[in-house]
Chains A and B, each alone.
Chain A
Amino acid sequence: MIGTATGIIRALNSGIKHLAIKRFTLRYPEEKLKFVGDGYQFDPSTGVGIAGLKGRHLLFHDHCTGCQLCSIACEGVAEAIAMVKVPEEHKQNKKAIMPQIDYGKCVFCGLCVDACPFYALYMTNDYELSSFSKEGLIYTPAQLQVKPYVAQDSEIIITSRGATHG
């Protein structure tokens, strides 16, 4: 019986100690997490990626040759990439086709980035992609070209009074 009482007091005590511990929760829309790097990138010459968040893609129109390798890589994953005609002309892109990505299907695996041999497709830190319509989730080559602005301020800080997102 004494054991039970001390056990319960110890449990309560442990809970009470937490009143003095800092808040760990991230207040999301006001605070945003800091990520390493500018997003996941891949170097085809060495075959190794560069660490970064796998978020929305970034397409470099002046590198893309329309070779469709990204679309073929995605075929076995999510079929999220469709090759579409673009109005502009680039001399490396004779067919004038570039990938268009449907974020309703994409699983953010980054295998398309691994497949691109011309450093044309990277991923960025942009993860806020929600939309009110299904069409809004389809990003055309022109939209993929835009470099996103991502606010990043919080990372985990560990102090003697506990961890917090500061």
Chain B
Amino acid sequence: MATELPSNIKSSDVLTDQTSSKWLPPGLALQKVDERIMTLNVGPQHPGSGHMRLIVQIDGDYIVACDPDPGYVHRGEEKMAEYRNYITNIPHLERPVIHDSCNVLYPYVLGVEELLGIEVPERAKYVRVIASELNRCIYIMYWLAIYGIFLGHSTMFMWPAGDRELLIDLMEKMTGARVTHAHFVPGGVRNDLPPNFEEVCLRQVAYFEKRIKEYAAVFYDNPILIARTQDTGVLSRQDAIRLGTTGSVLRASGVDYDLRQKEPYDVYEELDIHSNVMKEGDSYARSKIPWLDMMESCNIIRQALQKMPKSGSVRVKLKPNPKGKGLNTVYKRVESGRGSLGCYIVSDGKPEPYRVKLSVPSFRNLIALPYLLKGEKLGNMPSVYWSLNYWPVEADR
């Protein structure tokens, strides 16, 4: 130790000898490594990892082990929710996924409605279904654009990023904001649909559907994409269930589980919903399921617009600062753009919730990543990683 320590640090605080390194937690202690194995840090600044780090160990071109390291964008959403009342929690709870903000808020709003015993008007339920399906498509388009650019397919980045605008425009007319709508509240939605909305919505959704069908020729049936993603990162049906994956990842592995069908909330039971399932469980199937989901969402929007009561209230009036009745807990979950998203709320009779816990699909799908990447080529890592329909900010909350 030739260099001098700064005056405010005592030499006894610095780990110098081997014995004190025993204190370190197991992950931080030095490990003996094989000479052939190289450790690669992908991220946290790398555009190919999102706001997270993937610690990948490679032997030549093949991945031996992968250790995902999320947590770089932890914002303490759950703790923040304990200091705000049931209404002012709305704007910040939709921040984890700003492109899918209605769906992120949905389980919270459903839960608070049950806690406070609020009956929601029929029209509001349909408006919520339309908003959440539009949001699902907006999210998937963004996800698809990034999937395209991950694979070096820049056309597939430009097209979804542009066509998303059709639906963002609808959301803007409906809620007054392009992202982070703050539209759902306990008791309904904040405002009624603008005049003429149905007609505009049908027109733009029909064109949107026509556009996404064109993606087949350029992307999904493209032999280059198929060669790169087929049979990479295969997740078997049993593993998908055992690892607790959800949403498009689970359905790509052959498990037909869509919460909109299995546990319908709001008015989903009155709508005819077809869930998309594929058997292969590889990256190709996982990237195709969200695309098929978008077409299903277009169907749902059309059905909802048709069945919706043409007039009526969209929001029940609440008392200011509504309170829960005594000690009470509620758990609600919805099918978001990424999979089942749950919200567990504990109320102790105060205007603020005692505890809000989000159970997010991104985190649950990420668990599968180390198993999928073992034995893959390093070049396939981005496509396998992003096919998990993972959103870093949501996983960190």
CB within 8 Å of B: which residues of A? Answer: 3-4, 7-8, 10-11, 13-15, 24-25, 33, 35-37, 39-40, 46-54, 73, 75-78, 107-111, 114, 123, 155-156, 158, 163
How many chain B residues touch A (CB < 8 A): the figure is 46
For A51, give its contact among B182, B192, B204, B226 (CB under 8 Å): B192
Collect the chain A residues with CB atoms within 8 Å of residue B165's CB: 24, 156
Chain B minimum-CB-distance residue to A7:
B223
Distance of A106 from chain B, by nearest CB (Å): 10
**Residue contact B91 to A77, C-beta cutoff 8 Å:** yes
Collect the chain A residues with CB atoms within 8 Å of residue B221's CB: 7, 10-11
Q: Known contacts being A24-B162, A47-B317, is A35 close to B207, with CB within 8 Å?
A: no
**Residue contact A123 to B176, C-beta cutoff 8 Å:** yes
B198 within 8 A of A: no
Distance of A14 from chain B, by nearest CB (Å): 4
**Residue contact B217 to A158, C-beta cutoff 8 Å:** no
**Residue contact B217 to A51, C-beta cutoff 8 Å:** no
Q: Determine the distance from Cα of A71 to Cα of B91 in the docked complex, in whole angstroms.
A: 16
For A8, give its contact among B85, B180, B207, B222 (CB under 8 Å): B222
Q: Determine the distance from Cα of A78 to Cα of B176 in the docked complex, in whole angstroms.
A: 19
Q: Determine the distance from Cα of A156 to Cα of B171 in the docked complex, in whole angstroms.
A: 13
B134 within 8 A of A: no
**Residue contact B91 to A109, C-beta cutoff 8 Å:** yes
| B286-321 to A contact mask, C-beta < 8 Å, 1/0 | 000000000000000000000000000111111000
Taking A35-B173, A47-B318, A76-B85 as given, write out 11 further A-B residue pairs in contact, using a Cβ cutoff of 8 Å, ordered by the A residue number. A3-B223, A13-B217, A36-B173, A47-B317, A53-B176, A76-B89, A110-B176, A110-B182, A111-B87, A156-B165, A156-B204
Collect the chain B residues with CB atoms within 8 Å of residue A77's CB: 84, 88, 91-92
Collect the chain B residues with CB atoms within 8 Å of residue A4's CB: 223
A–B Cβ pairs within 8 angstroms, 23 of them = A7-B221, A7-B226, A11-B221, A11-B222, A14-B214, A35-B173, A36-B195, A48-B190, A48-B191, A48-B314, A48-B315, A51-B174, A53-B177, A73-B87, A75-B88, A76-B84, A107-B91, A108-B177, A109-B91, A110-B176, A110-B190, A156-B166, A158-B204
Distance of B288 from chain A, by nearest CB (Å): 15
